[in-house]
Structure 1
Amino acid sequence: MDTTAWQLWLIAAIVLGALEIKLSGFVTLWFAVGALMAALMAGAGLGFDGQLVVFTLVSSALFGASRTIFKHVFMRDAVRLKTGVEAMMGQEAVVTEALSDPHGGTVRINGELWMARSLSGPLPEGERVTVEQIEGLKLWVRRPSASHEVALPQPRPKKENAGWD
């Protein structure tokens, strides 16, 4: 039985455990446990090569499993946050430049102006639309469902005796 090997592994486990307390990465804990297991194997009389194998296998297994453990135990109810282009799908936008069939126009979404094409025919300025798909830097939009009616602009009454209308 090699008395110095298990002591060195135990010191390594203590140092790695102290680092885990000091650092915020939650990584060195698994190496501390691996060093503790290697210290037990050294105390049982396993050779240095075997100790290194135990340290490596235990540390690697715990490190790899920790992501799965934490994901399933602590993050089971977490909602995935959508960002960027993914967050625009299904969002409402406002037409800022009328969307005509051949050329499209511009819509405002999340405070930004985007080139857009209509999937539901020409759309006038000011109409609210829903983003259906994204192709490069162009949004494909559509009028919301039929339950949301859009009020058409009323024609202005003509002024009498204006002469310059």
Structure 2
Amino acid sequence: MTLLRTQLGNTLRGHRLRQRRTLRDVSGAARVSLGYLSEVERGQKEASSELLASICDALDVELADLLAEVSLEMRLAEPGRRPVRPVALAGVGAGVGAGVGSRPGSPDDDPAAAAADDATETASAAAEAPVAEPALALVGGGQPARAGARPAVSLAA
């Protein structure tokens, strides 16, 4: 099993080396000690989110892109794991941008037809790619939150 800190370190080192930059250069730009950055790259230290963000800024890499790359590498390193289905995001995919570049006489001219097409595309996309269960879910059953109240958090297995 690959540890997250090991894969993060390997990926950060790969970005630094592809840019032909030294540990000293990146540690200075990230305002992190050279020794600590070296330990992070070797997977010996668990970097905080603030530290990762600082290193990513120094490497001109988006933190989200780094985490996505690490996630993919960890999936590829575990051949016996069950496949993870993509998570559908609200507003992403079918129907977004409808009407842009549409042809006259196309269903986009008729809002009811466009809505029906979007519903069909969304239903077929949902049938083809089931949504993964969230690892973290807000609990509350759709009840409106009280003013100043923090939502309860449930960790799913």
Same-fold call, TM cutoff 0.5: no
TM-score normalised to the size of structure 2? 0.23
TM-score if structure 1 supplies the norm length?
0.22
